[in-house]
Structure 1
Amino acid sequence: MSDDPETARQIAELAASDLPLLVLDVDDVILEFIRPFPRYLQSRGYELRFDSFALNGNVFDRATGERAPKEVVHQLVDDFFVVQDEWQEPAEDAAETIANIARAAEVVLLTAMPHRHWATRRKLLDRFELDYPLLTTERAKGPAIKALRGNHPRPVAFIDDMPYNLVSARETVHDAHLFHLMADTSMRALMPPLPDGITMLDQWRDAEPEISRALGL
């Protein structure tokens, strides 16, 4: 069971499946984030400087030049999710690639965001015909992926842009196939080396063979 009760409730509503399981992060994996978020910040009087692989510490008040405190960054991200449907679009080739895989696999979207934004994100994804089950979680992703797999020993692949989410999956579902993919790779040079056992994917158009092989498709 997921250690987030609301995530567990969402998982319980899904129909049981024994198909190979592909779990996908949303922000900067299937929906662009790093491209639109700086433009959103500018509309709010802030700017994002790519000094390190993080949001906290890299958002600056344009009027004063001072770093935005952590709580301000948190609020800006939350405010962005309120209006995400005005800013975010699918990553290039994501929809087509996922649709091909979904012909023979169960695809579930697992996004780390406050549960209260579920409906807005659902509406946005449906607009782009990304109508796969959507789960929100406010805690570690690994337990949610374990619960999604259930008791069937089916292959599992998980794609995320944040290494710590992939590590969480590895610690919880030991045989999961883990992939790092970013819709926008401009920050990848700032990222620490990936932990062992995680495969880097450069773009969606080249990802399908790797994912299909991992899932035995």
Structure 2
Amino acid sequence: MTIDPETLRQIEELSHDDRPLLVLDVDDVLLDFIRPFPRYLQQEGYRLEFSNFRLHGNIFHVETGSAAERERVSDLLAAFFDAQAAWQTLTEGAADAIETISRDAEVVLLTAMPHRHRDIRRRHLDELGLCYPLLTTEMAKGPAILRLRGETERPVAFVDDMPHNLLSAQEFVPDAHLFHLMADNSLRKFLPPPPEGIVTVEDWRDASGRIAAALGI
């Protein structure tokens, strides 16, 4: 699988760093998503009812009760991300944990979202004090993490709430330390147990020490 060309361009803009590497997802890892998104939907006349770990098929029009079509869900997500600064707040404990780790490791944020939202997200993260490099990707994350690591064998840790992103990292960087963190742990009931090699963490208090140990810092 190849790397997203725009993501590659963004990576090439980064300064070289040979310290241990921590790659972080953004939604429901650094910024709350699944808590504010239902409130946003209510404002738009929709409701979110989880029957599985997906958005498509679980968003319903309040008045008609009909499920929102895929295109409408995509439009709602796009509008939410346009307005993210009004809705998305920091995940509890994230800022302090990452600030501590960043003293001895390179920290890069890798978010799966359309590239057109990058500037809006960059501004919001800066306003929250998360001034770490931000990459967007519209393809699998594994190739991007491999490229970020570079030619060295430096330790790599990756934190994400989506199992398929962690599996992508595992495929392309087999020795990466992988952590499954979800801002809302109640959603774990919709997921199977994580595959071997992926560590479940309950929150940032649980994650920070484990990540530091994995990176050897």
TM-score (norm 1): 0.98
CA distance in 1, matches of 2:99, 2:160: 18
CA distance in 2, matches of 1:65, 1:73: 15
Give the structure 1 partner of residue 60 of structure 2.
60
CA contact (8 A) 1:61 1:67 kept: yes
Deviation of 1:186 (Å): 2.2
After superposition, the C-alpha distances for 1:103-146 in whole angstroms (9 at most, x for unaligned) are: 10000000000111111000100111000000000000000000
Name whichever of 79-88 and 190-199 sits farther off. Answer: 190-199
Q: Secondary structure at the match of 2:193?
A: coil
CA distance in 1, matches of 2:195, 2:112: 21
How does 1:161-180 map onto structure 2 within 5 Å? Answer: 161-180=161-180
CA contact (8 A) 1:3 1:144 kept: yes
Count residues with an aligned counterpart: 217
Give the structure 2 partner of residue 198 of structure 1.
198
Q: Secondary structure at the match of 1:65?
A: coil
Deviation of 1:34 (Å): 0.5
CA distance in 1, matches of 2:151, 2:169: 16
Give the structure 1 partner of residue 9 of structure 2.
9
How does 1:132-151 map onto structure 2 within 5 Å? Answer: 132-151=132-151
Deviation of 1:2 (Å): 5.9
Deviation of 1:160 (Å): 0.2
Q: Does 1:49 align with 2:49?
A: yes
Give the structure 1 partner of residue 76 of structure 2.
76
Deviation of 1:79 (Å): 1.1
Q: Equivalent pairs: percent with the same residue? A: 61
CA distance in 2, matches of 1:63, 1:130: 39
CA contact (8 A) 1:2 1:8 kept: no
CA distance in 1, matches of 2:114, 2:207: 29
Cα root mean square deviation, aligned: 1.1
Q: Does 1:114 align with 2:114?
A: yes
Look up the equivalent residue of 2:92 and give its one-letter code.
E
Look up the equivalent residue of 1:150 and give its one-letter code.
G
Deviation of 1:170 (Å): 0.4
Deviation of 1:190 (Å): 1.3
CA contact (8 A) 1:2 1:147 kept: no
Q: Secondary structure at the match of 1:180?
A: strand
Look up the equivalent residue of 2:89 and give its one-letter code.
E
CA distance in 1, matches of 2:168, 2:148: 14
Give the structure 2 partner of residue 154 of structure 1.
154
CA distance in 1, matches of 2:151, 2:61: 49
Give the structure 1 partner of residue 34 of structure 2.
34
Deviation of 1:205 (Å): 1.4
Q: Secondary structure at the match of 1:124?
A: helix
After superposition, the C-alpha distances for 1:52-100 in whole angstroms (9 at most, x for unaligned) are: 1111111011110011111211111111111111100000000000000
TM-score (norm 2): 0.98
In structure 2, list runs of 5 or more residues that go unmatched.
none
CA distance in 2, matches of 1:34, 1:109: 19
Look up the equivalent residue of 2:152 and give its one-letter code.
H
Q: Secondary structure at the match of 1:38?
A: helix
CA distance in 1, matches of 2:21, 2:152: 11
CA contact (8 A) 1:181 1:202 kept: yes
CA contact (8 A) 1:56 1:70 kept: yes
